[in-house]
Structure 1
Amino acid sequence: MKILGHRGMGKGEGENSLLSLIRATQLGADGVETDVWLTKDGSLILTHDEDLKRLFGVDIKIKEVSYKELKKAKLISDEKLTTLEKAYLELPDDVIINVEIKDPDAARFVVPLVKSFDALERTVFSSFIHECLSEVRKADPKAKIGLLIGEDAEGKGLEYIEELIGHYAPFSLHLPVQIFERFGLKIGLELLKGFRNKGIKIALWTLNDPELALKVRTQCDYLITDNLTAMLAVKGGR
């Protein structure tokens, strides 16, 4: 089981900043999960939201500004916004990076950048916007795509997920931890085992409860968490 720091050290202050990503790896995380948007001048910025209201209290949409404008506004720094390029430059070269594509316009740019660092093997590209996965696969058939399942699957049943798997042939299936609330622990684990028996890696997000992590770790390949210290302790206790 690999532990990935959600947005680095977790959701909240400093999330997706370079310092947060680095700190997660320094604590012992196997990798990080981060989110990417494209600026109007083609820079790949790491941030979760389409605008900067929640994080920095400013009414700026990433897609409507340039990197230069963000820098002029003093929003580019190790403690605030950074780029995907900077992350690959500064993080250790053995760290797993789960690049979640928030912006469809960013999809065709992420693979060439990752390849420029010879980091395709340790990168998983995921997105709730599943068409982005086709763009990633088109950019390089060897790219690892993570089928991210969220609200789109509500009420659609397991058949919907099976159809998506058949269409995208993902490297990994990224499931919300709420799967165990919906199906119960025993059935949930059986479902994960079934997917893994088909050769699909399982990533659970966002798993912050160490007791639940202890129960599911045998059927989890990647655990994405805001509670990094506790999850590392769970892993170390095996």
Structure 2
Amino acid sequence: MKILGHRGIPVLYKENTLPSLLEPFYLGADGIETDVRLTKDNVPVLIHDDSLMNFCGVDVKVRDLSLAELKRYKSNGESVPTLEEFLKLAPKGKCLNIEIKEYEAAELAISMCTTLYDGGLIFSSFNHSLISELKVKYTSLRFGYLFDEGHAKLSDEEIFSLFEQNTYSAHLPVVGLSYFPERFLKIIKELKRRNVKIVVWTVNDRKDIEKIWGYVDYIITDDVRLFL
């Protein structure tokens, strides 16, 4: 089982800042999960939300700012990092789970990651159409489908159909185990039978996944120290 820091280690540093993203490696984690979207001048940057409200309390869209303008906004002295900045600092041989937040960011993120990073890469997204498109185009790369409450209405058959070819991983919310325990376990068992890697997010207590511990390949957590 591999342990990935959720946007780094947000219990210690502001999420998705360089200190947050790099600290899990120093602590011995297997990797991190982070989010990529684009600035107005099409630079891939690492931030979860589409605005800066959560980052620094300013209600301005990332997509409406050039990189130079974005860098003027700080949270505890830290600016939103570019994907390139992070990739050049990330230790080699680790696992980076890159969540693609915008369709337009996909190609640039993939190109930059495969060019600059020497290690494991998983590209995931809640946009299932995007992942379906990318996994056909880039057959040698690892892609995963992200699921949340918005996908609860999908039938089991619809979920399984996504994994019929060239899909590395399924990224499932740990809260699903509380709401739909029997279905959650059924889906995991079937995906494992198909050799799909199981990624569970965001796990912040060992007890949350006791029932499925043996099925999980990756844990995404706000505090990697809980599992190391």
Q: Given the two structures, how large is their TM-score scaled by the length of structure 1?
A: 0.87
Q: Which residue of 1 aligns with 2:60?
A: 60
Q: CA shift at 1:139, angstroms?
A: 5.2
What code does the residue aligned with 1:173 have? Answer: A
Structure 2: unaligned runs, 5 residues or longer? none
Is the 8 Å Cα contact of residues 128 and 145 (structure 2) preserved in structure 1?
Answer: yes
What code does the residue aligned with 2:169 have? Answer: S
Where do 4+ consecutive residues of structure 1 move more than 4 Å?
none
Is the 8 Å Cα contact of residues 101 and 132 (structure 1) preserved in structure 2?
Answer: no
Q: CA shift at 1:118, angstroms?
A: 4.8
**Which of 162, 170, 173 lines up with 2:167 in the alignment?**
170
Tell me how far apart the structure 2 counterparts of residues 15 and 4 of structure 1 sit (CA, whole Å).
Answer: 13
Structure 1: unaligned runs, 5 residues or longer? 233-238
Q: CA shift at 1:40, angstroms?
A: 1.4
CA separation of 1:131/1:155 partners in 2, compared to 1, >3 Å: closer, same or farther?
A: closer
Q: CA shift at 1:111, angstroms?
A: 1.1
Q: CA shift at 1:14, angstroms?
A: 0.8
- Tell whether 2:111 aligns with 1:115: no
Structure 2 counterparts to residues 39-118 of structure 1, below 5 A: 39-71=39-71, 73-75=72-74, 79-118=78-117
SS of structure 1 residue aligned to 2:51: coil
Q: Which residue of 1 aligns with 2:38?
A: 38
Q: Which residue of 1 aligns with 2:191?
A: 195
CA separation of 1:164/1:152 partners in 2, compared to 1, >3 Å: closer, same or farther?
A: farther
CA separation of 1:11/1:173 partners in 2, compared to 1, >3 Å: closer, same or farther?
A: farther
Tell me how far apart the structure 1 counterparts of residues 161 and 124 of structure 2 sit (CA, whole Å).
Answer: 17
Q: Which residue of 2 aligns with 1:223?
A: 219
- Tell whether 2:215 aligns with 1:182: no
Q: CA shift at 1:32, angstroms?
A: 0.2
What code does the residue aligned with 1:36 have? Answer: V
Q: Which residue of 1 aligns with 2:2?
A: 2
Deviates more, 1:213-222 or 1:197-206: 213-222
**Which of 135, 138, 143 lines up with 1:137 in the alignment?**
135
More helix by share: 1
Q: CA shift at 1:76, angstroms?
A: 9.2
SS of structure 2 residue aligned to 1:59: strand
What is the aligned-residue identity percentage? 36
SS of structure 2 residue aligned to 1:141: coil
CA separation of 1:78/1:200 partners in 2, compared to 1, >3 Å: closer, same or farther?
A: farther
Q: CA shift at 1:103, angstroms?
A: 1.1
Q: How many residues align?
A: 228
Is the 8 Å Cα contact of residues 108 and 139 (structure 1) preserved in structure 2?
Answer: no
Q: CA shift at 1:129, angstroms?
A: 1.1
What code does the residue aligned with 1:55 have? Answer: F
- Tell whether 2:14 aligns with 1:14: yes
Q: Deviations over 1:111-139 (max 9, x none)?
A: 110121254x6000000012321453355
Deviates more, 1:51-60 or 1:133-142: 133-142
CA separation of 1:19/1:65 partners in 2, compared to 1, >3 Å: closer, same or farther?
A: same
Tell me how far apart the structure 1 counterparts of residues 100 and 154 of structure 2 sit (CA, whole Å).
Answer: 23
